[in-house]
């Protein structure tokens, strides 16, 4: 898992990138909530983002921060 922070299979199996442990706690929280939302909506539809907005209102800022740290955090 080099390019994704997390994933959730249709069967509900979640995987997280081990490099996520180096991220700020709120960024980890965002990834976990994002993947948990996939248990209900298995896509990135409007309904998915509505669910994410409801459970993690600051997700956009946290995602931007995580994305800005990606090059630094993904170094093995």
- For the chain, the straight-line distance linking the first and the last C-alpha, in angstroms and rounded, comes to 12
pLDDT of residue 1: 57
**pLDDT beyond 70 at 44:** yes
Residue 24 lies in a domain: yes
Residue 48 lies in a domain: yes
pTM: 0.91
Domain that holds residue 47: 6-73
Which DSSP letter does residue 76 get?
Answer: -
| Mean pLDDT computed over 31-53 | 97
Structure-model confidence comparison of residues 2 and 28, the more confident one: 28
Q: What is the mean pLDDT of the chain?
A: 94
Q: How many domains does the chain have?
A: 1
Separation CA 25–CA 55 (nearest Å): 16
Residue 62's pLDDT band (cuts 50, 70, 90): very high
Residue 1 lies in a domain: no
| Mean pLDDT computed over 25-41 | 97
């Amino acid at each position: 898992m080099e390019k994704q922070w997390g994933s959730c299979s249709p069967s509900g199996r979640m995987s997280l990138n081990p490099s996520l442990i180096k991220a700020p706690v709120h960024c980890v929280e965002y990834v976990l909530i994002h993947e948990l939302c996939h248990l209900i909506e298995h896509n990135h539809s409007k309904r998915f983002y509505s669910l994410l907005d409801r459970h993690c209102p600051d997700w956009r800022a946290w995602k931007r921060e995580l994305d800005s740290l990606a090059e630094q955090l993904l170094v093995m």
